[in-house]
Amino acid sequence: MEITDIKQWYISNFELFEESLNGSRETPFHEVRRSAISKFSELGFPTPRHEEWKYTNVAPMLEHKFKLPTEVAKVPKEVLRDFTFDTLKENLVVFVNGLFSEELSNIALNSDDIIVSSLRNAMVNHADLVYKHLGRYVSFEDESFTALNTAFTNDGTFIFVTDNKVIADPIHLIYISDGDTELVSHLRNLFIVGKNSQVKIIESFHSLSDTTYFNNLVTEVFVDECAIIDHIKLQEESINAFHISNSQVQQERQSVYRTVNIDLGGGLVRNNLNVLLNDEHCESHLFGFFLGQGTQHIDNHTFIDHAKPHCFSNELYKGILDDKARGVFNGKIIVRPDAQKTNALQSNKTLLLTDDASINAKPQLEIFADDVKCTHGATIGQLDDEAMFYLRARGIGEEMAGAMLRHAFISDVLENIKIEEVRERMDAHIIERFTKALKS
């Protein structure tokens, strides 16, 4: 299928999407949708000739004509058992094929202090608040998939925390893909956290089958003065899934944004995470782990923009690639001329378990200030034979020894998951994955 043909497919689907919006077509945001589809028509899909997509070819995605879901699929509530955490079931926001499922969700937090809602409902019930922020932080001017998402924006999660509130209970967003037909979901999330407030957000992506589908996600995060966000993203989708995620975070004075991103699934995965430190004394902590097997392709692009002085960023991404899996890490840090006293750390480390696995690592550091402390680097290697011998000599079987060494390699990423039950579950789950891989 020609790229121009599939581009036209999405443009023609936008016309059908418009007809389904009813009253939503009269809102000011609909003009943003129109501008976005026009920009998408101009940009088209990226190719390896684009510098930012040099190592990730989306051509396999363009072989499919993905359709928008028309209604919320019926999914038994029992399926949530595998995706939820026993002590964290009070605040669940569940989507099936990109559409909010009121039946599966359990939102107990809503009050004058916090709003947790589907974006679609929030556009009606909290219109002034939503439209004040929606589309303000992320740009679609040079990003095809963000333009496509913006054009089709209709549902996702809206979280708003007012000033001076500490939300003790984590909010868990669950995205389930299910169905026999090839579906696309353009999920749009908007998280706004007020001054001196704190919140923990978990996002997890799952599939009930090995069907081929496309999740095109955009998330905007605003962290006001002295606010703290802990943001965990767990992706374990179908091996045939396409997952494109674009996140834009804007931090204000003395705010803290901590995120842990774990990719275990997906056939072709691309995560763009951009953080703007927009005032003094901000802290950003970005941690990531990706496990690639078979022919998986997992690409992490991060961009940390130090725009103001006296800020700190710490970034650590680790990967383990087996079989013929491919990974990409492109981490860029820019220190603006006014951002004196910046302290920025970046590290990417990858284990290649076979000769056919590969990683393209590109750490980047651009400094336009002269009073800074910045480090960056990437390493690629294999498991330590001496460490393996040490464990085997103490009676530990080969499979368990290999799993233990792999787990030890990523432990400094997992330990940054501050929610104990989530960390323990991921620990056990990843060790299980390692052990199965060694047996196969």
pLDDT band for position 258 (cuts 50, 70, 90): very high
For residue 163, what are the CA distances in angstroms to 122, 157, 194, 297, 302? 19, 20, 4, 41, 29
The residues, ordered by sequence, that sit 6+ positions from 122 with a Cβ below 8 Å of its Cβ are: 115, 129, 130, 158, 190
- Spatial neighbors of 325 by CB under 8 A, at least 6 apart, are 292, 293, 294, 295, 296, 297, 298, 357
What pLDDT is stored for residue 31 in this prediction?
Answer: 92
pLDDT at 179: 75
At residue 435, the pLDDT reads: 75
Q: Which residue has the higher pLDDT, 204 or 383?
A: 204
The span from the CA of 25 to the CA of 23, in Å, is 5
The predicted model gives 339-350 an average pLDDT of 96
Q: What percent of the chain has pLDDT over 70?
A: 94
| pLDDT score of 388 | 61
Lowest mean pLDDT among 4-18, 243-257, 263-277, 351-365: 4-18
Mean per-residue pLDDT, 114-140: 94
Mean pLDDT of the chain: 92
Over pLDDT 90: what percentage of the chain? 76
Sequence-separated (6 or more) residues with CB below 8 Å from residue 254? 225, 226, 279, 280, 281, 282
Separation CA 187–CA 217 (nearest Å)? 5
Query: Would you kindly state where each structural domain of the chain is located, as residue ranges?
Result: 3-279, 384-440
Helices 3-20 and 29-43: crossing angle in degrees, nearest 10, is: 170
pLDDT at residue number 391: 63
Which of the four pLDDT bands, split at 50, 70 and 90, describes residue 36? very high
Statement: residue 303 has pLDDT above 60:
yes
**Please, which pLDDT band fits residue 380 given cuts at 50, 70 and 90?**
confident
Band of the pLDDT at 352, cuts 50, 70, 90?
A: very high
pLDDT for the residue 329:
97
Identify the CA nearest to 218 among candidates 90, 22, 36.
36
pLDDT at residue 390 above 60?
Answer: no
pLDDT reported for residue 2: 56
Residue-wise pLDDT for 66-104, tens only, equals 999 988 888 899 999 989 988 887 799 999 999 999 999
Span 154-178, average pLDDT: 95
**How many other CB atoms are found less than 10 A from the CB of residue 349?**
21
**pLDDT band, residue 20 (cuts 50/70/90):** confident
Contact 360, 51 (CB under 8 A): no
Residue 351 phi, psi dihedral angles, 5° rounding: -100, 125
- Which tokens go with 111? 């009050």
Mean pLDDT, range 135-163, rounded to an integer:
96
CA atoms of 440 and 436, how far apart (whole Å): 6
CA distance 302 to 279: 19
Contact between 377 and 346 (Cβ < 8 Å): yes
| Distance in angstroms (rounded) separating the CA atoms of residues 420 and 87 | 10
Higher pLDDT, 430 or 274: 274
> How confident is the model at residue 108, as a pLDDT?
82
Q: Which residues pair with 191 in a beta bridge?
A: 159, 221
